[in-house]
Structure 1
Amino acid sequence: MRPIRLPEPPSGPVGMPEIFEGGLNVIRRAIVIGNGFPGAENQCLGLVRALGLAEKHTLYRVVRPRGGINEWLRWLPVSLHKMIESVIRRISGDSQFGGSIQSRRVFPLAAQNGGSVGLSSILEADAKKIASLAHETFEKEGPILVVASGRDTISIASSVRRLASQHVFVIQIQHPRTRLDRFDLVVTPRHDYHVLSPSGQQEIPQFIRRWITPREPPSRNVVLTVGALHQADSALLRLAALNWHAELAPLPKPLLVVNIGGPTRHCRYGADLAKQLAVSLHSVMATCGSVRISFSRRTPQKVLLWNLVIIPKVYIWDGEDPNPHMGHLAWADAFIITADSVSMLSEACSTGKPVYTVGAERCTMKFSSFQKTLQENGVVRHSQEWRICLIVGVILPQRYSCSCSAGS
């Protein structure tokens, strides 16, 4: 494989870095392969932004057939899923698949708060077409950086590298579980290796340990991160602050932002945790200037805190566009976030503002390891602490001003 040099991150606060000199093998463009989930695709876009290629990339998306029996086939690899769907379609006719996604469809790209990726559409990912593009344009434009994230993108990204290894540099984000040598680089959070730690081994029954991945320690082409990659860098936050100035700047301070995700297999909670959070918010409302609450697509109805909407200083986002998430990151004085969301916690912690977690004690396996790492690094505090730290209308900086403990 010919050597391919990755671009250096931008050196200035704004604008593109001077990375496009130095020969044929310097990367000047990127392809992002997404799976349709913001938590995965934002990691790819965040890496592309960090390398200064925000305006020099194309977004592709792995497309699964949908509707009817396809909902029962989603556990299969994408290629096998499509093959079975095609066979069933020929046997039973198209009428059974009215809701499925046709091939070669172009998907609209929703605008993102705080900026745009500069695209009007998302193309369906096809390994052969991407590899052909890399071959045909290499002499004129140089190699392509391919960044992918999510289970459905693994086979596409690895196939692109196999078909065009001389003309691409492939980065897979999140642990692909097997055969890490299929990629030039794997970027994965450290807690994905929780199963190799002593505590992780204790949580896994011995008879299934051999089936648990990852089974190997990090190799030379693996980069471990504390949390998830994301796009919320200083430049994007400055832009979001401007875009949301009219709505968020006049709010009484301190502004407390509450981000609520949804229960997962390893981070279970329900209406009981929602009730606990609502009671705690009521107890600090007098010392808080304003509260804004956002929910994710995974939040179940029973967790919604609609009983807080009657309080004038509380605003609950109704899920309609525009999404205030980037504005909240820019303008919040502190965050309260449910422990299930690695992405939301990673973004909030990167701002340097106080971050408090709710439900961390209910997490197991790698989610528990992630929470422990954040607390050991002093970037988050337990949910019991923020009730005490929100005093006299001031949110104290968590790193040095608030020494209260859970038992205070």
Structure 2
Amino acid sequence: MNTQPPIAASAAAPPTRPATPPSCWVLTDGKAGMENQCLGLAEAVGATPLAKRIHLKSPWRQLSPYLPLSLDHGLTPDSDALSPPWPDLLITSGRHAVGAALAIRRRSGGRTFCVHIQNPGVPFSRFDLVVMPAHDRKAGPNVMESLGALHRVTPQRLAAEAARFAPGLEHLPRPRVAVLVGGSNGVYQLTPALTGQLADRLAALARQGIGLMVTPSRRTGAENEAVLRQRLAGLPAMVWDGAGANPYFGYLGLADAVLCTGDSVSMVSEAASTGKPVYVIGLEGGSEKFDRFHQLMVARGVTRPFTGVVESWTPTPLDDTSRVAAEVLRRMAARR
């Protein structure tokens, strides 16, 4: 049985950090979604993490995580060095990082506390803690569930970024709504027709006096971006053009409510961590896991589906990152 609750009923208290922060490595193959989750957890425990990125040679690349990795022979020359002194805390994500994590755990004599985010594909007991999304439906004595993805969003970061971007958005009326637009991936499709429907709904909100702060992503696509710009032209809406600093966190900090497409667990989780009303924009497609994630978020009162209306309501706080960080520190302290 999993001894950890799937999600706290209320926002987690900030983790009690040790007087001396642990030395910490974050180890991934460099994919942004994986690395950001690891960095978010590392920062939440009070560490200043050293991010390391590795790539595997054959046959480890094809057979990871099942073939034990040799740190001396299994990494490509462009990988970051993995050598002593070993860190107090190692946080990994992705199947290509599993073998390296287990090798470091062995070479450190078990001193390094190893946390893996998402399913490692090997027995969970080989890690000190495994953090799994609730929609994966996995359990174990050293498994801790998160409702959403871990992330780097903090009140301090949102406040700083809001102050940074506020001067350029003073012309927008209040209330203001951040619109986070993802795009097509292996599960969902964002088509120009669907973007047109979304743009029409956004335009209707703007005509009601709501200021829109829209940030597309690389996956949105030029055609979809053009639809958004055309239909929001002349309305109180700012659509980021991709130039200059990314206003993503600034928009989250300045928003009174958030709309986001449902193609990214990380994006929905980051939006929900703000404590503001979050509406999820449905896209074409889906999968069993994504459907479970969105159903859980609605059932727990964290998000609502976007139907064209934005209301003021109080969502259930989502603070998986602090909750997991507190458990990591508790378990590390118990081993001393």
Q: TM-score, normalised by structure 1?
A: 0.65
Q: Would you say the 8 A contact 1:248–1:331 is kept in 2?
A: no
Tell me the distance in 1 between the aligned counterparts of 2:125 and 2:17: 31
Question: In the alignment, which residue of structure 2 is the partner of 1:38?
Answer: 32
SS of residue in 2 equivalent to 1:188: strand
Question: In the alignment, which residue of structure 2 is the partner of 1:166?
Answer: 110
Q: Would you say the 8 A contact 2:183–2:217 is kept in 1?
A: yes
Question: In the alignment, which residue of structure 1 is the partner of 2:312?
Answer: 396
Unaligned segments of structure 2, at least 5 residues = 1-12, 317-336
Question: In the alignment, which residue of structure 1 is the partner of 2:62?
Answer: 76
Tell me the distance in 2 between the aligned counterparts of 1:189 and 1:313: 38
Q: Would you say the 8 A contact 1:33–1:125 is kept in 2?
A: no
Question: CA 1:301–1:158 in 2, change beyond 3 Å: closer, same or farther?
Answer: farther
Question: In the alignment, which residue of structure 2 is the partner of 1:148?
Answer: 92
Once the two structures are TM-superposed, the CA of residue 333 in structure 1 deviates from its matched residue by: 1.2
Once the two structures are TM-superposed, the CA of residue 174 in structure 1 deviates from its matched residue by: 1.3
Tell me the distance in 1 between the aligned counterparts of 2:223 and 2:62: 31
Tell me the distance in 2 between the aligned counterparts of 1:378 and 1:77: 41
Question: In the alignment, which residue of structure 1 is the partner of 2:181?
Answer: 260
Once the two structures are TM-superposed, the CA of residue 396 in structure 1 deviates from its matched residue by: 2.1
Question: In the alignment, which residue of structure 2 is the partner of 1:125?
Answer: 80
Tell me the distance in 1 between the aligned counterparts of 2:173 and 2:123: 53
> Which residue identity does 1:379 align to in structure 2?
V
Once the two structures are TM-superposed, the CA of residue 226 in structure 1 deviates from its matched residue by: 0.2
Q: Would you say the 8 A contact 1:339–1:359 is kept in 2?
A: yes
SS of residue in 1 equivalent to 2:188: coil
Equivalent residue for 1:383, pick from 306, 314, 330: 306
If asked which structure has higher relative contact order (CA below 8 Å, sep 6+), I would say 2
Tell me the distance in 2 between the aligned counterparts of 1:154 and 1:297: 29
SS of residue in 2 equivalent to 1:244: helix
1:341-356 aligned at under 5 Å gives the runs 341-356=264-279
Task: Report whether the alignment pairs 1:179 with 2:123.
Answer: yes
C-alpha distance after superposition, 1:366-386 (max 9, x if no partner): 0000000011011211121xx
Equivalent residue for 1:28, pick from 12, 18, 22: 22
Equivalent residue for 1:290, pick from 188, 207, 211: 211
Question: In the alignment, which residue of structure 2 is the partner of 1:115?
Answer: none
Detail structure 1 runs of 4+ shifted over 4 Å in the superposition: 77-80
Tell me the distance in 2 between the aligned counterparts of 1:295 and 1:233: 22
Percent identity between matched residues is 32
SS of residue in 2 equivalent to 1:76: helix
Higher Rg of the two aligned structures: 1
Question: In the alignment, which residue of structure 2 is the partner of 1:138?
Answer: none
> Which residue identity does 1:275 align to in structure 2?
G
1:77-92 aligned at under 5 Å gives the runs none
Tell me the distance in 2 between the aligned counterparts of 1:257 and 1:382: 15
> Which residue identity does 1:20 align to in structure 2?
A
C-alpha distance after superposition, 1:123-165 (max 9, x if no partner): x3344x2xx222xxxxxxxx51011122332222222112224
SS of residue in 2 equivalent to 1:280: helix
Question: In the alignment, which residue of structure 1 is the partner of 2:4?
Answer: none
Once the two structures are TM-superposed, the CA of residue 240 in structure 1 deviates from its matched residue by: 2.1
Question: In the alignment, which residue of structure 1 is the partner of 2:53?
Answer: 61
Question: CA 1:144–1:355 in 2, change beyond 3 Å: closer, same or farther?
Answer: same
CA RMSD across the alignment: 3.2
Once the two structures are TM-superposed, the CA of residue 37 in structure 1 deviates from its matched residue by: 2.4
C-alpha distance after superposition, 1:220-278 (max 9, x if no partner): 11110000011112222222233333234553211111111122333344223212101
Q: Would you say the 8 A contact 1:62–1:153 is kept in 2?
A: yes
Tell me the distance in 1 between the aligned counterparts of 2:64 and 2:164: 39
> Which residue identity does 1:370 align to in structure 2?
F
Once the two structures are TM-superposed, the CA of residue 77 in structure 1 deviates from its matched residue by: 5.1
Task: Report whether the alignment pairs 1:364 with 2:287.
Answer: yes
1:242-257 aligned at under 5 Å gives the runs 242-248=163-169, 251-257=172-178
Task: Report whether the alignment pairs 1:275 with 2:196.
Answer: yes
Unaligned segments of structure 1, at least 5 residues = 1-8, 12-16, 22-26, 87-101, 105-123, 135-142, 194-216, 390-394, 401-408
Question: CA 1:32–1:319 in 2, change beyond 3 Å: closer, same or farther?
Answer: same
Question: In the alignment, which residue of structure 1 is the partner of 2:327?
Answer: none
Tell me the distance in 1 between the aligned counterparts of 2:190 and 2:167: 36
C-alpha distance after superposition, 1:14-52 (max 9, x if no partner): xxx66136xxxxx62211113322221111111112111
C-alpha distance after superposition, 1:326-375 (max 9, x if no partner): 11111111111111111111011111111111116742210000000011
Q: Would you say the 8 A contact 1:33–1:148 is kept in 2?
A: yes
Once the two structures are TM-superposed, the CA of residue 177 in structure 1 deviates from its matched residue by: 2.6
Question: In the alignment, which residue of structure 2 is the partner of 1:110?
Answer: none
Once the two structures are TM-superposed, the CA of residue 78 in structure 1 deviates from its matched residue by: 7.2
Identify which range, 242-251 or 228-237, moves more after superposition: 242-251
Equivalent residue for 1:192, pick from 120, 136, 140: 136
Tell me the distance in 2 between the aligned counterparts of 1:247 and 1:78: 47
